[in-house]
Amino acid sequence: MSNGSNLANPDFEPSDEQLQELSRRAFEGVPARRRAALARVHAEIAKRREAVLQDVRARLAGRKGA
């Protein structure tokens, strides 16, 4: 898109190829960011799950002694 095209110019009409390139460049990092976000969510879920399981084990252990 650096071939003299000016997207700020309201009279400029980009070609289909220019729009495809602009779209590709605009979204090229999305899959990696999505994977990173999902990894963070999965790690948080695993951390919270382990905390809950430890709490349940502690409660069950407390009942056995009562």
Hey, what long-range contacts does 39-48 have (CB within 8 A, 24 or more apart)? Answer: none
Residue 52 lies in a domain: yes
47 assigned to some structural domain:
yes
Number of domains into which the chain is organized: 1
* pTM confidence score: 0.63
* Residue 64, pLDDT score: 79
Residue 60 lies in a domain: yes
For residue 63, give its domain range. Answer: 30-66
Q: Convert the pLDDT of each residue in 3-47 to its tens digit.
A: 567 878 889 898 999 999 999 999 999 999 999 999 999 999 999
